[in-house]
Chain A
Amino acid sequence: MNATLTGPTLAVLLIVAPLVLAIAAFLAPRFAGRFGFVNAALMPAAAAGLLAAVAESPLSYALGDWGAPLGIRLYADSLSGILLLATAVILACVTVHARGYFARSAIRSSFWPLVLFLHAALNGIFLSADVFNLYVALELLSLAAVALVALGNEAAAVAAAFRYLLASLVASLSYLLGVSLLYHGYGTLDLALLAEPGRHGAFPWAALALMTAGLAIKGALFPVHFWLPRAHAEAPAPVSALLSALVVKAPLYVLLRLWIGPFADVPQAVGELLGLLGCAAILWGSVQALRQERLKLLVAYSTVAQIGYLFLFFPLARATAVLDAVALFVLAHALAKAAMFLAAGNILACLGHDRIKELDRVAGRLPVSLAAFGVAGACLMGMPPSGNFVAKWLLVAAAFESGEWGWSLVVIAGSLLSAGYVFRVVGHAFTPEQAREGGAAISASMSVTPFLLALLALLLGLIAAPLVELVDSPLPGAATVVGR
């Protein structure tokens, strides 16, 4: 099949297959897990195929053959391709882990359709080129994520889910009001058409503020990260992994698309503000992670900190390498954070609690999980050859290129702080009193998956060069090909 045919087929497959499997899992709950595994097997291949197809030139596919502005377009370039692949790979690992994690749990039959919907929503977001369609897909994502958090089933999980849902609804409505202003101003919802310079006379500042604020809440940017720590900490571990690794990245991706598209000519000061908040997030999240007494909360606050790095994109948006840096960062953080949450889940499952002070009891029993946590932590610190290392390197290079090297100091301070909280946990591997008995057994597949993810995160830097080349080749904002 030639490229023009495979691209659209794979794009549609990436959205439709998880939906169909979700329906199947809903209709036949007894086989739900198998449908999850079918999805886990199918999606990485499809995403890799799509990435290969769009590496040369971006894909623009008019659904229903209508074309913009009347219809909706799917759009994929290598940035979306990389994110789709990351989503597929991480979801596959989480699928394997979740089978063990939920083996004896009553909620497993509802977990599978929800997680498949989540996958479809993520793929839908990464493939959409229409601001209203993005709203619907974001809602699908939020509802799936909220329901998955609530599966944690304890009062704390349900309360966290409720707060997550309300925050995300308020944020969505803010975004939607922005969308309606954009539409009524410019008569189109298509990202590429909105980005056409001749289209707007006055700058759509109100839409920018509404949409950015909404997406910032959804993306848990400091100081509006209030919903994240508890939602991510109280959810079942495989869900936490998905939330921290992938779900918070989706609104950021939308913001990124807006920034290299319709909002490309926003005043620099707006970017500076977002960058400053990103810096504050790095420092604040890390400090909070340092003071947590529960492992999963520590990891959740680490996510608050790591999200900050992504917001450094905005002040540096005009530098050449910064998009590579951010793409790589998303990927690297996703792998490492998924590994950390799965490892934390193993510890929690084994001990029945996740109090950091008492982790020495687990060091002897779960060496692989603790090692996975350590390796993933080393990645977060930016240790080479991890993807984070290369990403941070590129980020600082971009800061120098724009002549604003002050940002780089925060990058480095964040690494120092993350070393602090990672060692709080990993240090327990080197404490003498290790009880080797007691606790629930952790299956091999459950211990290996986080380690595999951590290893991937660590080795990501080794293939950074080709990855960066991939992102570089088409300049996403500029090369938007509008369908008929």
Chain B
Amino acid sequence: MSAPLLYALVGVALFCMALHWVIACADPLRRILAVNVMSSGVFLVLVALARRVPGPSPDPVPHAMVITGIVVAVSATALAIVLASRMRSGAAGR
């Protein structure tokens, strides 16, 4: 098995572990973290497989996709944390 495939499989494993985590955990923060690990898994798959190019430098398009994806994921995470903390303060206020 080639290295890109191996890394991709690691990415898939990350994705699946985090998926299990996100389903099984009840804690909001842990769910947010799990979703983040899931996205890391996807990004790893994207980047690892970009190395299957015959030449020396990898395929740049998945890299660009990952950068875009990271920014999107960061935005979503920030919103999720703000919401989670609102939930807590909302619950405390009642």
Contacts from A to B (Cβ < 8 Å): 132, 135-136, 139, 142-143, 146-147, 150, 154-155, 158-159, 161-162, 165-166, 169-170, 173, 176-177, 180-181, 183-184, 189
In the complex, residue of chain B having the shortest beta-carbon distance to the beta carbon of A184: B49
Q: Tell me if B72 is interfacial: C-beta within 8 Å of chain A.
A: yes
Give the docked Cα–Cα distance between A181 and B48 (Å). Answer: 12
Contact, CB under 8 Å: A173 / B35: yes
- Could you say which residues of chain B place their CB within 8 Å of the CB of A135? 69
8 Å CB contact of A143 from B50, B65, B79: B79
Chain B interface SS verdict (over half):
helix
8 Å CB contact of A165 from B19, B50, B62, B76: B76
- Could you say which residues of chain B place their CB within 8 Å of the CB of A184? 46, 49-50, 52, 62
Q: Tell me if B84 is interfacial: C-beta within 8 Å of chain A.
A: yes
Contact, CB under 8 Å: B79 / A136: no
Chain A interface SS verdict (over half):
helix
Contact, CB under 8 Å: A162 / B84: yes
Give the docked Cα–Cα distance between A139 and B75 (Å). Answer: 10
Give the docked Cα–Cα distance between A271 and B15 (Å). Answer: 27
Given contacts A166-B22, A181-B45, 19 further A-B contacts (CB under 8 A): A135-B69, A136-B72, A143-B79, A147-B79, A150-B83, A150-B86, A158-B83, A158-B86, A158-B90, A162-B87, A165-B79, A165-B83, A173-B38, A176-B39, A180-B65, A183-B61, A183-B65, A184-B49, A184-B50
In the complex, residue of chain B having the shortest beta-carbon distance to the beta carbon of A146: B79
Given A132-B65, A139-B76, A165-B83: A155 and B42 interface contact (C-beta under 8 Å):
no
Contact, CB under 8 Å: B90 / A155: yes
- Can you list 23 residue pairs at the A/B interface with Cβ under 8 Å? A132-B65, A142-B76, A155-B90, A155-B91, A158-B87, A159-B87, A162-B28, A162-B83, A169-B76, A169-B80, A170-B35, A170-B38, A173-B42, A176-B42, A177-B42, A177-B45, A180-B45, A180-B49, A183-B62, A183-B65, A184-B49, A184-B50, A189-B61
8 Å CB contact of A180 from B35, B42, B91: B42
In the complex, residue of chain A having the shortest beta-carbon distance to the beta carbon of B83: A162
Given A176-B69, A180-B62: A143 and B35 interface contact (C-beta under 8 Å):
no
